[in-house]
Amino acid sequence: SAVISQKPSRDICQRGTSLTIQCQVDSQVTMMFWYRQQPGQSLTLIATANQGSEATYESGFVIDKFPISRPNLTFSTLTVSNMSPEDSSIYLCSARPRLTDTQYFGPGTRLTVL
């Protein structure tokens, strides 16, 4: 299994600003992912965070808006740039450890943009 922590757990931000969310896994993992959960909705994959290379973004998400870093096998960051109220969501990090198909999720970051 994997234990995942995220910082911050929640934040309230002004439109036009940016927020960086950190994700830390307690063990080395092959795959890390970032999801968005809009209010009352299910989860949507934003991107796969690739170690040592650029993230792979899903349709509808772009690097300029959601830059992602993954400097090593246990850590990743997601930045929500130039925020608007439509970015108010829960952002979740997940990881898939080696030798397993199970994906584990962090506790999420609840973002409110005013």
Distance of alpha carbon 78 from alpha carbon 35, whole angstroms: 10
92 belongs to the binding site for another protein (CB under 8 A): yes
Minimum distance, C-beta of residue 75 to another protein, in the bound complex (Å) = 17
- In the complex, the smallest distance separating the C-beta of residue 6 from another protein, rounded to whole angstroms, is 8
- 87 in helix, strand or coil? helix
Quick one: three-class SS letters along 3-55? CEEEECCEEEECCCCCEEEEEEECCCEEEEEEEEECCCCCEEEEEEECCCCCC
- By CB under 8 A, residue 25 contacts another protein: no
Binding another protein (rule: CB under 8 A), the pick from 57, 61, 75, 104 is: 104
Q: Does 33 bind another protein (CB under 8 A)?
A: yes
Binding to another protein in span 46-85, by CB under 8 A: 48, 58
Residues at the interface with another protein (CB under 8 A): 4, 31, 33, 37, 42-45, 48, 58, 90, 92, 94, 96, 101-108, 110
